[in-house]
């Protein structure tokens, strides 16, 4: 599907890479401008969060400031979801005009001939598919056999996160109907609303493997951060790094575009946060695990 010329009317030429082809010109203008506004807003929000983190910690609340402290804690508890969503949307929108160049670079003859990269991509595809599912099942089985409630809960949380992420990803795939790179690597901007429910080659956005990988990584990292913060410092980057490599492998294999991976990561991290948010108590800068 080619971009409708009506979509370009009244827009700066520099913004044309961000355009989404659609059957309705009016809907296309609303979607594209909304995406640009979301990107700008996310940048402003992240800047404000960074500045807030750099500011000195507030003094301990007095008896007369109890209500104010509770209000701040309530806002703090809502910030993770907001920051995940805005940062994810901003990254997805920012990567969209780079989908073609990134795919072209990873699909070039040199990297495709590399046996190490091909074998690595195969391993990562397995990890992002059955690997993390098996890991979650292992946690459940180990916790049950050892009568360890903590390990069992970790298995339950990671399973819940991957299930929620998979459902959300499937719905988004069907709704956006984006064409996969292996259909045509030169057309990253082909969308067809609703076609993803019926056509296999129209299920590119977002990446399901990436979503499951980040769902497992985020759920387990949140749990470890609440239970064993020191362990989370090392395990967290390892889990998220592995999930990111799964996403790269999906682009390398022409299964997804780079923005699909960013969107899948956003869905996954949000899923992990959703299933663990009731298990953690954020107050006075500390995180406590509750079963």
Q: What is the pLDDT of residue 231?
A: 82
**pLDDT for position 278:** 66
Distance of CA 67 to the CA centre of its chain: 35
Count other C-beta atoms under 10 Å from residue 172's C-beta.
Answer: 20
Q: DSSP per residue over the chain, as a string?
A: -PPPGGGGTTS-GGGGGG----S-HHHHHHHHHHHHHHHHHHHHHHHHHHHHHHSPPPPPP-GGGHHHHHHHHHHHHHHHHHHHHHHHHHHHHHHGGGHHHHHHHHTSHHHHH-HHHHHHHHHHHHIIIIIHHHHHHHHHHHHHHHT-HHHHHHHHHHHHHHHHHHHHHHHHHHHH-PPPTTT-TT-TT---TTGGGT-GGG--SS-HHHHHHHHHHHHHHHHHHHH-HHHHHHHHHHHHHHHHHHHHHHHHTTS--HHHHHHHHHHHHHHHHHHHTTTEEEETTEEEE--
pLDDT of the residue at 7: 39
Tens of pLDDT, residue by residue over 124-156, are 999 998 999 999 999 999 999 999 888 898 899
What was the pLDDT predicted at 279?
62
Q: What is the pLDDT of residue 79?
A: 65
Whole-angstrom Cα distance, residue 111 to residue 155?
Answer: 37
Collect the ranges in the chain with pLDDT lower than 50.
1-32, 35-74, 76-77, 281-291
- Residue 71 contacts by C-beta under 8 Å, 6 or more apart in sequence? none
Q: What are phi and psi of 47, to 5 degrees?
A: -60, -40
At CA 230, angle to CA 147 and CA 71, rounded to 5?
95
Q: What is the pLDDT of residues 4-27, one digit of tens each?
A: 443 344 444 444 443 444 444 444
User: b or e along 228-262 (b: 16 or more beta carbons within 10 Å of the residue's beta carbon)?
Assistant: eeeebeebbeebbebbbbbbbbbbbbbbbbbbbbb
Are the C-beta atoms of 140 and 156 separated by less than 8 Å?
yes
Residue 267, phi then psi, degrees to nearest 5: -60, -40
In CATH, what number does 100-289 get? 1.20.144
Q: Which pLDDT score, from 0 to 100, does residue 51 have?
A: 42
* CA atoms lying within 13 Å on the CB side of residue 148: 13
Residue 137 exposed, middle or buried by CB count within 10 Å (0-12, 13-18, 19+):
middle
Tell me the pTM.
0.71
């Amino acid at each position: 599907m080619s971009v409708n010329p009506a979509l370009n009317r009244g827009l700066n030429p520099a913004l044309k890479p961000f355009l989404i082809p659609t059957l309705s010109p009016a809907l296309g203008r609303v979607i594209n401008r909304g995406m640009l506004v979301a990107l700008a807003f996310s940048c402003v929000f992240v800047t404000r969060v960074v500045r807030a983190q750099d500011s000195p910690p507030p003094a301990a609340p007095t008896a007369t400031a109890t209500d104010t402290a509770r209000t701040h804690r309530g806002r703090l508890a809502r910030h993770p979801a907001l920051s995940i969503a805005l940062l994810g949307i901003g990254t997805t929108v920012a990567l969209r005009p780079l989908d073609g160049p990134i795919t072209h670079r990873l699909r070039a003859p040199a990297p495709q001939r590399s046996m190490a990269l091909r074998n690595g991509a195969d391993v990562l595809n397995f990890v992002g598919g059955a690997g993390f599912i098996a890991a979650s099942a292992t946690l459940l089985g180990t916790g049950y056999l050892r009568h360890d409630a903590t390990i069992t809960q970790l298995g339950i949380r990671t399973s819940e996160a991957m299930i929620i992420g998979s459902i959300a990803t499937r719905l988004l795939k069907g709704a956006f109907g984006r064409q996969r790179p292996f259909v045509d690597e030169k057309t990253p901007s082909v969308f067809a609303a609703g076609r993803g429910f019926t056509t296999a080659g129209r299920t590119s956005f977002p990446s399901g493997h990436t979503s499951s990988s980040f769902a497992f990584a985020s759920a387990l990292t949140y749990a470890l951060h609440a239970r064993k913060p020191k362990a989370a410092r090392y395990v967290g980057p390892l889990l998220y790094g592995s999930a990111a490599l799964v996403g790269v492998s999906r682009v390398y294999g022409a299964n997804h575009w780079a923005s699909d991976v960013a969107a899948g990561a956003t869905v996954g991290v949000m899923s992990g946060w959703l299933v663990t948010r009731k298990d953690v108590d954020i107050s006075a800068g500390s995180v406590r695990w509750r079963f």
